[in-house]
């Protein structure tokens, strides 16, 4: 995967806040009204809406307003960018550990000869 640092920076900044991570986690279960999303948090609706704005700016959440109800939906494909980056890092480190294991095995074999 190509390194899209601006995209990743925006995603990780949005996910750096525990409130926003909780919202993303909740939206993983399906769309929800902003008022329902805000309910578990000890903050006013204007403060909570700032969190929604950050998630929308990062492309993690989209919302639609019908009448007085704004419903948010998780944009799962945006999370795939972060998942792809983690996968690349895991593969890189796995290869490094395998090289280290090979080297240690060679050194151990030389020592016993």
Q: Tokens 């920076």: give the residue.
A: 9
The mean pLDDT of the chain is: 90
Q: Give the residue-averaged pLDDT of 90-110.
A: 84
Enumerate domains of the chain plus CATH numbers.
5-112 (1.10.10.10)
The 3-state secondary structure of 54-110 reads HHHHCCCEEEEEECCEEEEEECHHHHHHHHHHHHHHHHHHHHHHHHHHHHHHHHHHH
Q: Give the residue-averaged pLDDT of 19-25.
A: 97
Q: Give the residue-averaged pLDDT of 77-105.
A: 85
pLDDT of residue 2: 47
User: Residue 4 — pLDDT band, cuts 50, 70, 90?
Assistant: low
Q: In whole angstroms, what is the distance from residue 76 CA to residue 95 CA?
A: 28
Phi and psi torsions of 46, nearest 5°: -60, -40
| Token pair belonging to 24 | 């993303």
| Whole-prediction pTM | 0.73
61-66: strand order across its sheet: 32-33, 69-74, 61-66
Q: For 43-87, how does the pLDDT look when each residue is reduced to its tens digit (9 = 90+)?
A: 999 999 999 999 999 999 999 999 999 999 999 988 888 888 888
pLDDT of residue 71: 98
User: Residue 1 — pLDDT band, cuts 50, 70, 90?
Assistant: very low
């Amino acid at each position: 995967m190509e390194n899209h640092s601006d995209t990743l920076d925006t995603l990780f900044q949005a996910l750096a806040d525990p409130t926003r991570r909780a919202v993303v986690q909740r939206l993983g279960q399906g769309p929800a009204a902003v008022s329902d999303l805000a309910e578990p948090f000890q903050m006013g609706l204007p403060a909570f809406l700032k969190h929604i704005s950050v998630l929308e700016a990062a492309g993690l959440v989209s919302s639609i307003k019908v009448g007085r109800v704004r419903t948010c939906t998780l944009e799962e494909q945006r999370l795939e960018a972060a998942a792809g980056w983690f996968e690349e890092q895991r593969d890189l480190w796995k290869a490094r550990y395998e090289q280290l294991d090979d080297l240690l095995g060679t050194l151990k074999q030389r020592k016993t000869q």
